Amino acid sequence: MALPVAFFTLFFAWPVAAIVARGLKVDGAWQFGRITDVLTQPDIRHVLWFTTWQALASTALTLLLALPAAHVFARLDFPGKQLLRAVVTVPFVLPTVVVGTAFLALVGRGGLLDEVWGVRLDTTVWAILLAHVFFNYAVVVRTVGGLWAQLDPRQEEAARMLGASPFHAWRKVTLPALAPAVAAAALMVFLFTFTSFGVVQILGGPTFSTLEVEIYRQTSEVFDLSTAAVLTLVQFVAVGAILTVHAWTVRRRETALRLVAPEATAGRPRGAGQWALLAGVLATIALLLVLPLAVLVRRSLDAPGFGYYRTLMNADGGTFLVAPVHAVWTSLQYAVAATVIAVVIGGLAAAALARRDAGRLVRGFDALLMLPLGVSAVTVGFGFLIALDKPPLDLRQSWILVPLAQALVGAPFVVRTMLPVLRAVDGRLREAAAVLGASPWRVWREVDLPLVRRALLVAAGFAFAVSLGEFGATVFIARPDNPTLPVAVARLLSRPGDLNYGQAMALSTILMLVCAAALLILERLRTDRTGEF
């Protein structure tokens, strides 16, 4: 635990504490009255209200559209099911900047809806809600569908034989067993939408602002660190409460899994109802998930002869100091470095948490590992500039700063992927190897590593994908001569002109293809044990 604790202390707790202290300390004295002053401002209360409201609406809409798909993947067997599962998961690993850009190409100025029907939904709340559903659809499908597939269908069939209608049997038998998984998925969707930044920044415009966007505005545009510090504390408390409830629901879910039969059967669709359900789910996936990405690719090809892609090779001296295509190579380098850091830190933390003799303090660290996913990435990025500015940790000019910020987001995914597999390793195998004289290092190399190798590769793939798309912290610390892909896309979208817009679409398409390729490789490596969120 020494290295993971040191890593999260130096590169998460310290930067966040530094920016909060900078904002709430005046002449060495804490100004706690500033908290009341900020929270009573009408515009701040509107931001808090909108952040909560849109998160609740996004969560409800995601559950409404994704639960039927969870049933289809759990209970029905049809050609192309594994490929469709990968397609459903692609949006989750896409950077939020790409998601916002894809919906901008669909519902924004000159988008598909504008061209066909003359309708624009950008800078409206509907664009934000649909983009959030697009991003979080896979969370519900994989979390709820994973449990649904392990429920014994004979329990519901028994209720049907006793005279219950299909809906009544589902409501009385299946729904109570699914409740923990549904609650866990809803809480994760709420967490991701409550802290949404890239999607709202691109689609919300000046009209809509979430807590995360407001923190960014206060730090980078208004330079009001005290207000940003107060909003960071509010977000920290809210995320802590969400994660506490989520941990409780996960424990309930694990208990439910032990109480039901693990085997589940998926059969071919039977009857008009199942075929209609499958058709509806396929139509939803096509319209909600595939269409925005297809429109994104089409808009990137508007210029003849791959014109927008060819212009990425030129440095115009305006938006970037280097050719935009340089961001591709920079992002790949940073993502590889961040993946190595995340795998080392997350792997060590998972190994410590998996030990059966782990103390309560070590187990409590498990919940803290999830905080970087919910605490303002903007705060972390700006905190890096404030906290890591003096020897021996003066890293402001170092290239490693970006991979460190990206690894903070990737490490929780490594822990969540590897921990169930490490806990499943029979401890008697390690004991037998130790009795035969193997050293602890050799026990890990000969016993644990062969069993967790596939989970380790999956964890590395997820860490690579999320590192590649990190935006909130990177937007502060990426150097002008080495922008990452998400930062480059955001800069292009912020400048007027068709060329900048087309280049943003082209870079977003490249970023989408890289993430999708990484996910398809993961699907080939995936096992039932390592393939769920």
Give 487-508 pLDDT, tens digit per residue.
888 888 888 788 888 888 888 8
Which tops the pLDDT comparison, 72 or 425? 72
CA-to-CA distance for 403 and 410, rounded, in angstroms? 10
On whether the CB atoms of residues 414 and 7 are closer than 8 A, the answer is no
Would you give the DSSP letter of residue 317? S
pLDDT of residue 260: 41
Task: Give the contacts of 510 (CB within 8 A, at least 6 positions apart).
Answer: 328, 485
Mean pLDDT of the region 135-139: 89
The fraction of the chain above a pLDDT of 90, given in percent, is 13
- Beta-sheet strands, E only, within 285-379: none
Highest average pLDDT, of 266-280, 304-318, 368-382, comes from 266-280
Tokens of 309: 């892609």
pLDDT of residue 320: 65
Task: Give the contacts of 18 (CB within 8 A, at least 6 positions apart).
Answer: 383, 386, 387
Mean pLDDT of the region 93-118: 78
Q: How confident is the model at residue 419 (pLDDT cuts 50, 70, 90)?
A: confident
pLDDT of residue 360: 66
pLDDT of residue 328 exceeding 70: yes
CA nearest neighbour of 231 among 490, 480, 20, 485: 20
pLDDT of residue 32 exceeding 60: yes
pLDDT of residue 148 exceeding 50: yes
Residue with tokens 């075929």: 275
pLDDT of residue 256: 43
Residue 446, beta-bridge partner list = none
Q: Tell me the pLDDT of the chain averaged across its residues.
A: 81
pLDDT of residue 212 exceeding 50: yes
On whether the CB atoms of residues 350 and 422 are closer than 8 A, the answer is yes
Give SS3 for 26.
strand
Across 256-293, b (16+ Cβ under 10 Å) vs e yields bbeeeeeebeeeebeeeebeebbeebbebbeebbeebb
pLDDT of residue 50: 93
pLDDT of residue 252: 54
Phi and psi, residue 20, nearest 5°: -65, -45
- Of the listed ranges 136-140, 182-186, 470-474, 522-526, the one predicted with least confidence: 522-526
CA nearest neighbour of 351 among 441, 433, 428: 441
pLDDT of residue 482 exceeding 60: yes
Q: How confident is the model at residue 526 (pLDDT cuts 50, 70, 90)?
A: low
pLDDT of residue 462: 78
Which tops the pLDDT comparison, 96 or 319? 96
CA-to-CA distance for 171 and 333, rounded, in angstroms? 50
CA-to-CA distance for 63 and 108, rounded, in angstroms? 25
pLDDT of residue 531: 40
CA-to-CA distance for 460 and 143, rounded, in angstroms? 20
Q: Give the CA count within 13 Å in the CB-facing half-sphere of 117.
A: 7
Would you give the DSSP letter of residue 390? E
Dump pLDDT digits (tens) for 336-381: 999 999 999 998 888 888 776 666 666 667 767 777 877 778 888 8
Instruction: Provide the whole-model pTM.
Output: 0.80
- Of the listed ranges 148-152, 450-454, 487-491, the one predicted with least confidence: 148-152
pLDDT of residue 264 exceeding 50: no
pLDDT of residue 218 exceeding 90: no
Highest average pLDDT, of 6-10, 238-242, 360-364, comes from 6-10
pLDDT of residue 533 exceeding 60: no
Mean pLDDT of the region 425-443: 79
Q: How confident is the model at residue 334 (pLDDT cuts 50, 70, 90)?
A: very high
pLDDT of residue 178: 80
Tokens of 212: 């995360």
Other Cβ atoms less than 10 A from the Cβ of 46: the count is: 13
Amino acid identity of residue 357, one-letter, is D
